[in-house]
Amino acid sequence: MSKTPPAVWPLSGFGDEIDPDPAVQAAVLLALGASHIEVRSAWGTNVSELEPEQVARLKEILDEKGLKVSAVASPVGKVDVSLPVEHELARLRQIISVARGLETKYIRIFSFYRAEGRSAEDIREDVLAHMGALAALAAESGVVLLHENEKGIYGDTPQRVLDIMESVNSPALRIAWDNANFVQVGVKPYTEGYAMLRPYLEYFQVKDALATTGEVVPSGEGDGELDATIAALKADGYAGFASLEPHLASAHELGGFSGPAAFGAAARAFAALAAKHQIELV
């Protein structure tokens, strides 16, 4: 048991992993002790396509339940890098309006796919130009982009995530750390990536996975080195969000699904790890 003082981390989670209905999402998250929600879709509509009236209604529902929004989980950057950068800038402008409506400064993004036969090195220059343009728009708009390491995009390994952070060099671009996604590309997250990326780590997405199959499993049941990561984050004084993204029932290009029961199991597994390290989830 750690002898350091207790830490306090705001608990959030991807609401659409629970149910398409935001009211159900909110009820389950509250029952699990969360104070926040991460919004990727509502009523089956992705955040990139929500109308202003839907955003306003969603905010009303969350206000009624007493939940705040930790981040908007956008699909920006989950496209081929050969698309004109304006394509993603237009989507980001729309999502910035959603983030403002939901009163959050954080927007999750990705760092682009590449065509079959092209290497990461082939697309590096275009990726960095695109990410720089997105970060400039974010800085101008007063929001912070959170790059999620995701299988198949440019920034899928710690070294390439670091390349993005150092090259773009913007306080409007930071890291949403995902242990499971690193496992799925053959990386030992804490051992091979934590020290390198910690200066840019601003958001913690809670997910674990098996190295042999890539299957996503509850926290502590996989090879994601979550125990070591959580211990290090606490020792470093991390006080940001911990956002549950279980992916326990299915996963697809724009996200995943767990359902209320599996989401609850994921939440309890993470809570047990947090309690072991004297971290209070609020």
User: Quick check: 130 pLDDT over 60?
Assistant: yes
Q: What is the pLDDT of residue 250?
A: 52
Dist CA 187 CA 177 (whole Å): 13
User: Quick check: 2 pLDDT over 50?
Assistant: no
Predicted confidence band at 246 (pLDDT cuts at 50, 70, 90)? Answer: confident
Dist CA 145 CA 63 (whole Å): 24
CA dihedral 189, 172, 87, 84 (to 10 degrees): -80
pTM across the whole model: 0.95
Distance spanning both ends of the chain, measured CA to CA: 20
Question: Tens digits of per-residue pLDDT, 86-121?
Answer: 999 999 999 999 999 999 999 999 999 999 999 999
Question: Tens digits of per-residue pLDDT, 9-62?
Answer: 999 999 999 999 999 999 999 999 999 999 999 999 999 999 999 999 999 999
DSSP string of 10-26, one letter each residue: -EEEBGGGT-SSHHHHH
- Which residues, including other chains, have CB under 8 Å from residue 80's CB and lie 6 or more apart? 112, 113, 114, 115
Comparing 5 with 211, the larger pLDDT belongs to 211
137-146, 219-228, 245-254: lowest mean pLDDT where? 245-254
- Burial of 151 from C-beta contacts in 10 A (0-12 / 13-18 / 19+): middle
Cα-based distances in Å from 182 to 20, 63, 189, 227, 277:
27, 35, 6, 15, 23
Q: What is the pLDDT of residue 257?
A: 61
Q: What is the pLDDT of residue 212?
A: 97
